[in-house]
Structure formats: C-alpha cells, structure tokens
Structure 1
Amino acid sequence: MELIYSMRRKLLKYEPPHFESPSDHEVVRPICTISTCNIIAFSSPTELDDTEGDTWGGHVYVCDLDTPWNCHKVTSTAYPVSALEWDMEGKQLLVATTVGDVSVYTQKDYLLNEWTCLYTASFPGEHIIRAVFFHNGRRLVMVDKKPDAPITERIQMLRSTPTLKGFGGVACEGACIITATGLIGVLTPAEGGRAHVATDCLRPTRDHITAASIAHKNGSLVIAAVCRSGGSAGRWCVRCVCAAVTSSSPAPAIALSPLPTIYLPQQDSQPVSITWCQREDTDSLLIAGATLTMWKCTERAHQVHKLFAKGPIQGNTTPGGGPKPVTDCFNTLVWQKTVAWGVEGGEGAVCAASSRTALGAPHAVLATPRALHLLARDTHHYLCSRAVITSGGISNAVEASSTPPKKAKYGTTPSGGGCAMVSCVEMSQLGGVVLAIDTHAQLHLYKLPQPWADIPTPIAVQHATNLLEYAVVSGYDCLDVLVACTGSIKHNILEMMYERLTESFQRQPAAFQQYYFHSWLKLRIALCRLIPSAQSSVSWLTCLQSLQACWAAVSLALRPDDKPDAAPLAALLDDHSHEQDKTLLTLEAKPDAISEAATLQPLRLCLQRAIDIGLTALLSLAYQHQHQHQMHPNNYEVWADGAAVQLVRRLALAARAGGRAADALLRPLARLAAPSTPRQELIEECLSLSTQWTGARVWESLPRCNVAAPHGNSWPLYLEYGVEPEALRYNPEPPGYAQCETAPSITMDAIR
C-alpha cells in the first residue's frame, strides 16, 4: 500500500474543543465515497477556502480522482452531513444530514461543476447514519475460465431482481436510509421535486443506533445496525434485518424480516464501524472496535428427536409416511465469528472498508486515527500498515502564512495539520485504490497491491487485464486500476497490458467486437495516455474516434431512402460490400456522382476536420519514411489501419459533395488503400501535399495536468485544494509533420 497523493487545505485558526478527540463518537466528522466513475464525493464542516470558521455546517464537494485539486461544491447545508452515497451508475448522489433532510443530486449536462436536485425527502428529528440506492437488477460476475476463453464466457451478466419493480418488472429508482433511532425509510422520486416516503422501525422499541451498513441480496436489502441491547447497561449487539420493498400507490411499501442478531462479547468496547464485505450478494460482516472481527452468516442443521420433526413420524400409515431427513427439517441461520484482528499501535478503530466486488482482491482496510492497516480476508493476516501524515508537504507554508486572530473564536488551542485524524475510509469499485479523509477534510489516496505485493509480472498483467475487460463490459471507470499500475516498479507493465488487451479483444467474436468497439477504443486511449512513448498513438486513436463520430453524422444526413438518385449514396454507405474499393474508385472518378451539398452543409466543420486528419496521416507516412523511423509494434497509425483509410476516403467523398476541397486527398488515399501501389510514388505524392496544401495539422495528444500523466514525478504527491500543480503538467511535443502555422487551439475542457 503506497501513498499516491495527499491533499492540503488552509486550516482553521481555531477549532471547536474536542473536535479531534477519537473517543467522542457523537461528533459528525467528514466522510467520503467513490463512485463507479471514480468521482470522489466528500463532506467538510467548513468551506475549503475558509480559515476564519465563518461557514460551519455541512458542505459537499466532488472531484475527479485524477485531478483532486479541482473541487466543486454540490450543496451546503446548515447542519452536518452524515451520509453520502452514489448510485450504481455513478450519476446520482444522495446527501443526508443529522436532522433528517435527504436530497438526491445529479450532474447538469454531465458537468462536474453544475449539479441539480432531483428530489428531496424529510424525516424530521432523525439523525440519518446510512443510505443506499436501490439495485437496478444488472449484475456482472467473473466465471473461473481459462484466460484464453471468450469474454462472453468469462464475464456473464446475471439478471438479478431489482430492489423495486415497476410496470413490466422494470427497475425503479429510489433509496433506503436508516437513522440513529432505528427508523428505516425508503423514498422514491415523485412529481414536484418531493419524494414518496415509507417508513418502518427496526424494532417496536427504538434503539440508539451508532453505526450501520446496507447491502443488496436477491432483490432485498440486508441491513446491519449496531446498538446496545437491554438499555445503557446491556451488551453491544448487531441487529440484522432483511427489507423488501414493493410498489404501491402512491408511496412504496416496506416489509422487514428479522435475521439473527450478533451479540458481541461483554468485554468488547463500543463498535465504531461495520461494513459488509461486498456490496452485493454477501454474507460476511466486518465489525470494527477495539478489534476487527469478521462474522459469517451460515445455515446450520439442528438435530432433534423424531417426535418433534416435521411431517409424519415413522410407522405412520398415511401415504408417504416416514420421517424427513433432519437437515431438511430444521435449518436455521447463525452467525459465526471467522477471524479477529487486533488493532496495532494501541489505538482504537475509526472506520473499516472492504472490497466492493468479488472480482477485486479480498482486502479489508482498517483505519485508526493515525494509520491505515491493510488486511487479507482470506489468509487472515496483516499485509501492511501505513501512517497517515496529515501535515507537512506544501501545508507548512500555508500554516506559516496564517496569523492567529486577536480573540479566540472557539477556545485557546490553535489548530494544526498534526492534530487531524482519519475519520473515514473507502475503497474504489474495482479495488485499485483506497481513499481516506481526515477531520480537516483532507483526502489521502493510497494504491493497493494487485492482487498482492511481490506478484510475478505475468500474473499481475493477467489480473489487471481481467479487471480492464470487466470495466469494458460493465461500463465502470478503470482509472483506479490504471493508477495502481502506473507507479509499479515494472515500467513495462502498461505496455504488456496494452498488448494483451489488444490481442484478447481481437480474438473475440465479431458481434462482441462491434458492440464494445468504442469502449475498447476509449480504454486503449486511456492506456496510451500513461505511456510516454505512446503519445502519438493517443493522437491517432482519438482521431479515429472523431472519424467514427463524423461518419455516423454523415450517414444520418445522407439518408438515401427518400432521394431519387439513391444508388450512389447507397454505394457509399454500404459497409458490407465485397467490392468496396471498386465502388469508392468509381465515386472518386465522378465528381458529380453525389450532390448533397444542402444536407451536408451543417457538417462542414467536422468534414473539414476529417480532411485535416487524412492530410496529417499522409504526412505522417511520408515523415516516417523520410526519417527512417521504425514503427513500434504496439503503436497505432491511421495510415496503417485499412479500415481507417477506407473511412477517411468515404469522408473525403462526402466532404467534396459538401463543397469542401478534398480532391487532392482522394488520389493518395486510393494509392494507400491499394496493396500493389509502389511505395516510393506514394511517398513522393505525400511530400508534394505538404508543400501544396496549407491546411491545419491534427495533434490530439494535448497538454494536461493530472496525477496519472507520465510526468515523471515520484510518489507521494502533496497537493493543495484550488491550486493546480505546475509540476504535474505534461505537454507532449508534437512531431514535425503535425506542426504548422494554422495548428488548432490546444485549449479544451477536461474530458475523461
């Protein structure tokens, strides 16, 4: 476990007394969570740029895992934020407070800095401690197969039962919450921004719940809550229930079924955190307190006398008489403690987290006020421990520049980075990184071993490739896995992953390749962005993505069905013709074969972009031949891809029909597509284009500033909120063929 980066902020000059006391479990401290898109959401008691303590309350921020200094506020509340939760697709964010207010937000136009509230609900006077969104009924599992087996056999989709079914069995949106008094509530969106609410109690008598965890299992919600049985003098226990949500008019209905209760030993102190080992279909529970224990729910058969067995007894004259097997009669659910870890360092636990899916390594993370401990759930061993440094780095200058106020606002003890302690820990969806947040709302990101430390390179490549293939099929963001592989001692592991992933995808059936082509293309771009020697491939793969999007728009604009001269259009749009090259040669020889200037005029900019890409590809061919550059086997070039060359030819024909000057490109592109064209004649024609054509050159590997860029800086990184680190800026130098006076602007929004 290695620290990747640690955030710093301008600290408050004075803080409330006992805010940093680890023994006060009633204080609401900052919390954090990571979505399946690797977007971090975290809470802060004050605004991040506040140093005077004038904004005490609850503030929710989001940031990308790759650019944590760019934090954007989602909302601010008057009371502390006690629960944060992402939905399964990473699109909606639930925010709950200590006074029972629940709000669900989503991005506006997919922008990270603009959020809108979808619906709200209120549970007056209730301190909400945990929340979860309903399951959408879509679940992917990895089956134990040989690595060379098709992905469709290794990764299978299970049609799980959604938490709430609508008309026709379609999954409905909604969320479930549990409060500190044992109230369980469900809410579903309704008109007017208010939610339909249904509630039930964990027990007829209210309990004081200190921690809770919710997981999905077979279309129901499994809820575990920590409370004290028998009043304040009783033993600590974990009560478990199974909640089934059904649709009714107008609000949903909730039904609770009790499960066995875990009674902790009398000498155990108060548990501070519980978490299910996985988010779906799990039966193991982690309980953190003075020790970290793992409990498993199993079925156990109880042998009783045959007189008490179900069914007819032995000797009965009724048909089918005879006792039933004992195991079929009395099976009950029981909790069994499987392992207990002592907390190292003499400190009590603060929070615990576990891997979310069965695909990731079986890790568990235990957070203490000053350290993180990585544990193995299968071998029951401590793997490593890392101290969490909440001060130092760039924050020394920040602390030195601040002067104490004339009058203390909350006491006489000034705050400092060293007094902050860890308050929450969370693991990413694919298990690549673990995120911790301290009481000053400073984020600390750690890399997790994949799947364990000192693993041989072939096995590490195999495991990482499986995770990337799972991300392609499931739609999850794989940045956490890529970041975990970036800092590896094995420098060529990314290139080996790229090669193995490409070979694996090309072995898949044609239908699979067609359906997941764009996801695979985006993953190749993401991998090449991390390799310093593959920045040219980043540019050309991005160009291929642009060509595909442009051709989709042109195909919709032409629409040959409703035109009298539809034969040339149908020939141009036919992707399955065996004589495609002859068809393109015929259309290239007849300038007036396609006359669609009016319908293609709105696409003139993207068609011009396609022409510029074709010109740059031809110049790249001439440049490499002129300078005797050897093409790397894993590098990608548009001119070396036959399908991409045919796509550029089609777009050039469409551009000519739309009134763009593309005639000069048609002849060299046709020569490039012909397998028997003399190489030297093609090179000379491409070189003549560089002097005759003054069009813009295309270079898509743009400058960027992010953690995963190949900038060469060693870990850990100490960053500050709101300050873009110049040391992480990476500016790939474009080659000679991509440099010209009319190069496009390199300024663009951050898109990942």
Structure 2
Amino acid sequence: MDHICTISKSNSKGNVHKHNLLNRLPKAILCTISTTNLIAFSTDCNLEYMGAFSWSAEVYVADLNSPWIIHKILSNPFHISLLQWDFTGELLLVGDERGNIKVYRTKDNVLNDWVIVVQTVLQGENILAAAFFHSGKKICINPEKKDCSIYTEKFQYVKFACSVKQFGGRPANGALLLTSTGLLCAILFPQLTSQTQQLIMATESLAPIRMFIKTADICYGKNGHFLLAVNRGNPSFPIQCFKVSVMKTGEKCIITSKALLSFFLSQSPKESMMEQIIKDKCGTVNQIKWLMKEDADSLVVAASCEKISCLQVWELREVSLPIHKVFNKQDTPQFFTTVLWQYQCHFQYNSKLTSLALSKLCLLNNISCGYVVVTFADNSIHCLYRDTLKSVVNTTLSITPRYTEEPNAKYQKIRVNFVNSDMSWLGNILLVVDSDNSLYLFKLPPQIDSSTPLSIPYCTTILEYCLLTGMDWLDLLLVLRPSMLDPLCDRLTESFNRQPNALQQYFYYQYLCIKISLYRLSAQGQQKANDLTLFLMLHNISTAFKSLLRPSEISSHDKSPGDSLSNVINEGQCDVDKLLMHLEAKEFTVEPTTLQSLQQLIQWVGDLALNLLIKVPDSRPSQTKGYELIRDVKALNMLREMLVLIRIWGLLRPACLPVFIKSDSNLDILALLFRLLSRLVQNVNEPDDSLIDDCCELSSQVQIHHTQLYSSNRTALASSQLAQQILPLQLEFGSEPEYLSGKDESHSGQTVDSIRHLFLGKDPRSIKQCVRCGSSTGIVSVTRTAAIRAWEQRWLRSCQCGGLWRMQTHS
C-alpha cells in the first residue's frame, strides 16, 4: 500500500490556536469518489481563507488528476452528514444534520461551477444514508469466458431490475434516504429537460414504530428493491434488516417497508473481542456495510470501544433444521429449510476504529472479490480480504500538523486522526481524509488477484471494462509501473483489433482516448501521445465533414458519398483534379455559408498535412516503437480524403480554402500536398529518395505553422513526472507543484483553441481548460451556423480526451 501524496492546507501563522478550538468540536468530515474520479469532501473550515476564525461546514470538489485544485460548492451552517455520488458521476447529493437535502451538478459541464438541481428539507431530521435509484444496467465478466478475446462474450449484461419504473418501463431518476429517526424518504427528480414537472417526494417509517438509528447502509436487490441494515449504535442491540420498495403511480410515490431477519453480535464466538466491546459502557457499533452494493447477502459490522475494535462478517445462508419429535409423526427424522444469518469471520485490533471503506465494483457477478479497508485511531490503515478479513497489507502514518513560526509546544499537543476514507470505483486508489482537513492518496493491490503484483492481463481486462461501460480509468493510471506501459498498449491494441468491425467502429473514439492517456505516462511516449491526439482530431473532423454530405439519388442510399470517396481514394490516383472526375459533384455540394464557418478546421487539415510531410526526411529508417502518425496508412488516406473534399468545396466557396504563404504565387499547394501524400502512402516505411527531396523543398516553397503540442503542457498526477519523484509527495491546496509540470519547450506562449483551432492570444481573459490534458478552448463562439454548432456541441460535456472543463479567468 504505497502512499502517493498528501494534500494539506497552506501553513499560516496563528492557525495553531484556531486549530485547538476547532479540534474540540465534533468532527463530521466526509469524502467520496465518483465513477468519473471526481473527489468530493467536506471540511470544518474554509481551506481557501484561513485568516478569520469562523466555523462552517464546507464541501469541496476536485479532480483526482489534480487534487490540489479544489472548488467550493457549498458553505453550510450545519454539519454535513452525507455525501453521495450517483452512478454517472454527474449528481452529488449533500445532506446535513438538520434535514437539508441538496443535489448538485455542474453548470454547463464546468468543474468549478456547480448549481442546485434538486432541493428539499426534512425538518429536524439527520440524513444518515442514501442511495440513488438503480438504472437496471449491470455489466460483469463472464466467468466461463473470461479468457475470450471478443468483448461481447467476455463481458455480459446481468439481469437486474431498475429501482423505480416510469411509463413504458423506463428507469426513474431519484434517491432513497434514511434519517436517524427511522424515516424513509423517496425523491423522484424532475426531468432536466422539463420546465413544468414537479419534484415527487414521499416519506414512510422504516419500521412500524419510529426508532433511533446511528449507523446504516443501503444496497440494491436484483428485483428492484432496496436492502437496508441498521443499528442503534449499541452492540447489545440487534442488527436489523429491511426490504424497501419504491413505486411510482401517476404523480405519487409509494414506499413499502418489510422487516427481514435480524441478528445479534453476541451470537458470535466468545473468544473474539466482541464480547468485551458489548460489556464495555463505551462500546458502540461504528459502521455497517453490505459487502456488495448489488444483490448482497453479506454484512460487515464494525464495533469498538476506547482501545479495541472488532470487525465481523455475517452471511445470510440457507440451512436445514431438524423438526422436533413432537411435531414429527414419522419415524425418520424430518428437516425443514430456512434462511439464517451466520457468523463467518472476524478481525481484531487494539485501537479504536475511525472509518471503513469497501470495494464498490463487482467485476464477477455474485462473486465477492475485493477489499475492506479500515483506518484506526493510531493512524494505521489495514487492507483486508472482503470474505475472510485476513490482512493483505497495512501501513501506519505518523501525522503531525506543521505550522510556521510557532513553538513546538503549541502544536505537539494537537492530535490528528484519520476520520473518513473511500475507494475509487475500480479499486486502485484509496482516499483518506484526516481531522486536520488533509487528503491522502494510497495505492491498493489488484482486486481480482492480490497475491501477485499488477499484471498486464489484469490491467487489460480493466481497460476493456472501462471501454464498454464508459467508466473512467484514471485511478488505474496512477498505479501502473513505467515498464508496463508499452506491453499494455500492445496487448490492448491486439485485443481491440480482434473485435468485429462494427464493435471497433462504435468504441474507436474511447479506445484512442485510453491509448493516449497511457502514452502520456511515459517520458518516451509524449510524441506518440501527440500523434494519436492529432489523429483523434483528424478522425473527428473527417466524421464531421462527411456528415454534411448527402446522396443525390434515392437509389444510392446504400452507399454514402463518404464510402464513394474512400473507394476512389484507394485506387491510388495521385492527381487530385483527375480524381474529381470519378466523383458525383451533387453529392459533395454544401452551402457556401456552411463552408465558410468551417474554414478554421479546413486550415488545420492543411497545416497538419504540411507538418507530416516535412517530417518524412527525418523518419527514415524507423528506430522507434509504437504509434507514428506518419506511418499510419489509415490516417494518411483519411487526410487525403479531407484534401479532396477541401478541393471540391474550394470551387464552391474559394474563401473557405486554407491560407498558405507561398514563395511562388502560381504554386498549387493543395495539389502538391495530395500528390506527396499519395506517394507516401505507397510505402510509408521506406519512402523513395525523390519523395524525400520533394518534402525537403516544402519549407522553401511554403511557410509552415507547426501544430500545437497539447500532451506535455499540463500539471497532473497521471504524468511521466510522477515516476521520477520520491513518494509520498507533499502538496498544498491551491498550489500547483512545479515538479509535476510538463516541460514544453516548443510552446510559443500563445494559447490555441484546441476545438476551434484559433489563436486566443497570449493570456486570454477567460477560457475553458481541460483538467486532464490541459487543452484550452474559448467560451464564446464567433460563427453560429448549424455545422459549426454541431461541431462545438461535441465538446460541451468534456474535452476530446474525456476530461472535464474548468473555467480559467485572468484579471
């Protein structure tokens, strides 16, 4: 369990007295990680301004790739009692001890701008637990075909009912909440596109009589119901279980609750520490967790007193019990089958338990694999097997808050403890928060096979799972060893190329994003990452341009104009004007105003062709392994197709043509580029000497604008610099670490719009920047034709690498 980094607030004089006062207040510090690897955590002070003393509960959000850049979304006068992400990672539910419930989401998909989409209150209730409605979608590895190379056979959709059905069987969006007084609340969110639909809300008692609850957990049943486990905090009281169903009828919501089997901790073996905890007046049940979030039948219960803690796993099993002879009229013994909670195993430790985190993802259906991670008051972290509670690995940190210009005697009395923890969805990263509002990131062993180090087949399976489900894979990047990167890329490429053509086409964009992120982790892979980024943009532009084409006749609908263009290109014609004679002009006609709005994209295609051709003399012979754009025949043919389209559109609207500064005004640059690229495609590995000579003359014939390199201009954890640092890193909120910043010597100082391919100036006042790759884009669009609007809407949700946008403003 390697300690990656610690992120703490900046040191400031006078904070010691303030910390002493805050340390006496009850701690309600929480943290959670979403499926998109966003961190949400609460604090008991303002991390952005540490000057004045004023208590407040704050909620911050950060990206796991740059956790030092935090964004405050809420300042609350009461303790935050609940933080919960939904399955998509878009909605964040915040509940406090006074019953205030707020659901946040990003405004215009900008990470540092959040808005409330749902708000309600359960007056005087302490929000204890919550679960978003299940959508009914569940993908797992098929155990019988886990070694199969085809994705559709290796991964299977598991039959799982959604929590609440709407008209037509569609899953409803909402959440089920439980308060400390045993009150259930179901909230059905209005459709985000609807302006008139009202919030539907219903409440019901969990049990026939309202009861006090101190700890609880919620999981999903396969038939669409919820399973709840609750306890009053007293180890001598039973662990009670309930089955809760939510149904929507018209504009109302109905909650039904049914009591299930319960059990007492005192039923466990007497030799464990649980007996001492039950007898201790200070003994309490700290945590109850279902071992799996979907279709669970096992619970882990954590109880502790001042100096000892005990974890137990209880499993619901089917057992056969003998019928008493009074009721058995037959001579042979009779048995009846029933379901009972049975004690399985325990883990004991001589310190008070402070937090409990479990693996969230179930890769193998109904097969429990993963970990239970426990933190204790002595600041030790224990990673345990989920089924047996046997120790996998553990570590202990010595935490002492550091404050400048203060005598040691003032801060040595302050004790800082771990208070909460959470695992990333893929189970590779553990996030821990302490009572001093600092964050800690740790690496965890592989979940499926922890006996061996991280392996190439395991990582490939995880990346394939992310490819199919759309889940973020950033936490896996943080635990990869540098020596694994090239073999992992090769294996992923080999696996992807075995898929059917339709499947490859559907997942091609996400596949490229994964490969780019892997190459960025290596110092030798920056050029490969940049080449793939250029190809990804070329692929997107090609898709956008071809979507503007329409067949001229109804009979030719089975063959699109884009297919006709590809077939003509493959014939090997080197003269672009002769090639036009084989195309139907009507099929490639586009409105002149639309063509003019696409000029910046057309210019980028022309500049890319020039940049590739001037590299031909330096690329022979090939000494590097991995991806090179100049040797990708598919990319070169795609570029040739775009040059043909540009040639045709230039006849319709000459102003849309790319602008080149030429030494000879009579030189036809487009025709020259197409001819050179056509000759290069014939032999990309060993171009002939005449082609190399022609490419050498290009720099004297036309001025070449070098394409912007986006991959190295960023500061992030998942970078090639991380492997060169001595762990753990000591980071501060709001301060970018220079040693994690990419060195981009070719950067001109100008900010380039990575989406529209325009220059935004040296220091633009307001831009959107990707939190993953560092690419920038402008906020306001200049041209508003339908074609350019469709292009810009491709990138509203995220950057082309998959990262969220963050608003950057310079005064």
TM class by shorter chain equals: 0.7 to 0.9
- Counterpart residue number, 1:432: 428
* Mapped partners of 2:593, 2:572: distance in 1: 23
CA displacement at 1:588 relative to structure 2: 4.0
* Mapped partners of 1:87, 1:131: distance in 2: 10
CA displacement at 1:4 relative to structure 2: 0.6
* Mapped partners of 1:496, 1:281: distance in 2: 36
- Counterpart residue number, 1:473: 468
CA displacement at 1:449 relative to structure 2: 1.4
SS in 2 for 1:472: helix
Q: What are the Cα deviations for residues 25-62 of structure 1, in whole angstroms up to 9, with x where unaligned?
A: xx342100000000000011221123345442221110
Residues 1:227 and 2:248 are matched in the alignment: no
SS in 1 for 2:534: helix
- Counterpart residue number, 2:351: 347
- Counterpart residue number, 2:342: 336
CA displacement at 1:401 relative to structure 2: 4.8
* Mapped partners of 1:73, 1:41: distance in 2: 10
Residues 1:295 and 2:314 are matched in the alignment: yes
Q: What are the Cα deviations for residues 128-165 of structure 1, in whole angstroms up to 9, with x where unaligned?
A: 11111110111011112253431211111224211011
Residues 1:85 and 2:88 are matched in the alignment: no
CA displacement at 1:240 relative to structure 2: 1.1
Distance 1:451 1:733, change over 3 A: farther
SS in 1 for 2:353: coil
- Counterpart residue number, 1:447: 443
Aligned residue among 663, 684, 688 for 2:697: 688
* Mapped partners of 1:161, 1:193: distance in 2: 25
Matched AA of 1:718? Q
CA displacement at 1:680 relative to structure 2: 1.8
CA displacement at 1:244 relative to structure 2: 0.8
Matched AA of 1:681? S
**Please, which moves more after superposition, 90-99 or 215-224?**
215-224
Matches within 5 A, 1:47-86: 47-52=46-51, 54-86=53-85
Residues 1:708 and 2:703 are matched in the alignment: no
- Counterpart residue number, 2:162: 162
* Mapped partners of 2:413, 2:173: distance in 1: 41
* Mapped partners of 1:531, 1:746: distance in 2: 29
Q: Provide TM-score, normalisation by structure 2.
A: 0.80
SS in 1 for 2:570: helix
* Mapped partners of 2:413, 2:689: distance in 1: 66
SS in 2 for 1:334: strand
SS in 2 for 1:207: coil
* Mapped partners of 2:288, 2:424: distance in 1: 17
Distance 1:51 1:202, change over 3 A: same
Aligned residue among 203, 206, 213 for 1:199: 203
Kindly indicate whether the alpha-carbon contact (under 8 Å) linking 1:468 and 1:478 is maintained by their aligned counterparts in 2: yes
Q: Structure 2: state its 5+ residue gaps.
A: 267-274, 278-282, 304-308, 659-669, 749-756, 764-768, 773-802, 804-811
- Counterpart residue number, 2:285: 271
Matched AA of 2:351? E
Distance 1:88 1:683, change over 3 A: same
* Mapped partners of 1:526, 1:367: distance in 2: 32
Q: What are the Cα deviations for residues 436-471 of structure 1, in whole angstroms up to 9, with x where unaligned?
A: 1112221111000124898556x7111111111111
SS in 1 for 2:314: strand
- Counterpart residue number, 1:383: 392
Aligned residue among 725, 728, 731 for 1:719: 731
Matched AA of 2:175? A
Matched AA of 1:176? L
- Counterpart residue number, 1:673: 681
Distance 1:299 1:642, change over 3 A: same
* Mapped partners of 1:726, 1:418: distance in 2: 31
CA RMSD of aligned residues (A): 3.3
Matches within 5 A, 1:719-738: 719-732=731-744
- Counterpart residue number, 2:238: 237
**Please, which moves more after superposition, 464-473 or 351-360?**
351-360
SS in 2 for 1:559: coil
Distance 1:510 1:51, change over 3 A: same
Q: What are the Cα deviations for residues 334-392 of structure 1, in whole angstroms up to 9, with x where unaligned?
A: 2112110012xx21111111111233952110111212111123453212222234446
Kindly indicate whether the alpha-carbon contact (under 8 Å) linking 2:148 and 2:154 is maintained by their aligned counterparts in 1: no
- Counterpart residue number, 2:603: 608
**Please, which moves more after superposition, 580-589 or 217-226?**
580-589
Kindly indicate whether the alpha-carbon contact (under 8 Å) linking 2:680 and 2:687 is maintained by their aligned counterparts in 1: no
Matched AA of 1:729? S
Distance 1:678 1:431, change over 3 A: closer
Residues 1:622 and 2:613 are matched in the alignment: no
* Mapped partners of 1:258, 1:18: distance in 2: 44
Residues 1:524 and 2:515 are matched in the alignment: yes
- Counterpart residue number, 2:122: 123
* Mapped partners of 1:418, 1:282: distance in 2: 41
CA displacement at 1:300 relative to structure 2: 2.3
Kindly indicate whether the alpha-carbon contact (under 8 Å) linking 2:568 and 2:579 is maintained by their aligned counterparts in 1: no
Q: Provide TM-score, normalisation by structure 1.
A: 0.86
* Mapped partners of 1:476, 1:530: distance in 2: 19
Q: What are the Cα deviations for residues 597-639 of structure 1, in whole angstroms up to 9, with x where unaligned?
A: 44321111112112222222222332222xx55131xx21222
- Counterpart residue number, 1:7: 7
- Counterpart residue number, 2:298: 284
Q: What are the Cα deviations for residues 43-84 of structure 1, in whole angstroms up to 9, with x where unaligned?
A: 112211233454422211100111011101112222111100
SS in 1 for 2:489: helix
* Mapped partners of 2:427, 2:327: distance in 1: 49
CA displacement at 1:646 relative to structure 2: 1.2
- Counterpart residue number, 2:641: 650
* Mapped partners of 1:595, 1:75: distance in 2: 52
* Mapped partners of 1:620, 1:308: distance in 2: 91
Aligned residue among 366, 369, 374 for 2:383: 374
Distance 1:138 1:451, change over 3 A: closer
Residues 1:180 and 2:180 are matched in the alignment: yes
SS in 2 for 1:205: coil
Matched AA of 2:346? A
* Mapped partners of 2:114, 2:700: distance in 1: 50
* Mapped partners of 1:375, 1:537: distance in 2: 39
Kindly indicate whether the alpha-carbon contact (under 8 Å) linking 1:138 and 1:160 is maintained by their aligned counterparts in 2: yes
- Counterpart residue number, 1:637: 628
Distance 1:691 1:275, change over 3 A: farther
- Counterpart residue number, 1:548: 539
CA displacement at 1:582 relative to structure 2: 2.8
Distance 1:139 1:584, change over 3 A: farther
CA displacement at 1:644 relative to structure 2: 1.0
Aligned residue among 355, 370, 376 for 1:362: 370
Q: Percent identity?
A: 28
SS in 2 for 1:727: helix
- Counterpart residue number, 1:409: none
Matches within 5 A, 1:469-508: 469-485=464-480, 488=481, 491-508=482-499
- Counterpart residue number, 2:793: none
* Mapped partners of 1:350, 1:34: distance in 2: 18
Kindly indicate whether the alpha-carbon contact (under 8 Å) linking 1:208 and 1:228 is maintained by their aligned counterparts in 2: no
- Counterpart residue number, 2:189: 189
Distance 1:216 1:727, change over 3 A: same
Matched AA of 2:771? A
- Counterpart residue number, 1:254: 255
Matches within 5 A, 1:91-110: 91-110=90-109
CA displacement at 1:217 relative to structure 2: 1.6
CA displacement at 1:693 relative to structure 2: 2.2
SS in 2 for 1:521: helix
